[in-house]
Amino acid sequence: MSEEKLLTVREVAAVLNISEKDVLDLAEKSQIPAYKVGGVYLRFKKEQVDEYKLTLVNQPNIVPDAKITWQEKLGNFFYFNDFYILAGLFIILLLIIVYRGL
C-alpha cells in the first residue's frame, strides 16, 4: 500500500502562488478541501490542489499569480523566526558579558 504525501500550508501556497494566509482562508471557506492531521495540522491532497489551481486558471476574475510584497515577506520572516532572532541576540549578549568579564 503506497502512502500518499499530503501537502502543508506552505507547500500549497507555493503551488498556488498565494500567501499562506490566503491558503488558510480558502480552507476555512471550504474552497480547497483540507484535512486535519492529529486534530491540529492542516494538510491538503496534491490532486485536489491541482484541481483547484485549474479552476483558478479558468476564472478570469481571480488572479492566481498574486505577488507578495517585500513588506509581507519581511513580516513573515520575523513572524516565523522571532524566537531564533531573539535567542541569537541573547547568546551574543551573554558572550559579550562573559568576554568582558562583567
Per-residue pLDDT of the chain (102 residues; tens, 9 = 90+): 456 788 999 999 888 888 888 888 888 888 888 888 887 778 999 998 888 888 876 665 544 556 788 898 898 898 899 999 999 999 999 999 999 976
Where are the domains positioned within the chain? 1-66, 69-102
3-state secondary structure of 7: strand
CB 31 within 8 A of CB 38: no
Query: How far, rounded to the nearest angstrom, does the alpha carbon of residue 64 sit from its chain's CA centroid?
Result: 16
Q: Which CATH number fits domain 1-66: 1.10.3720.10, 3.50.50.60, 1.20.1050.10, 1.10.1660.10?
A: 1.10.1660.10
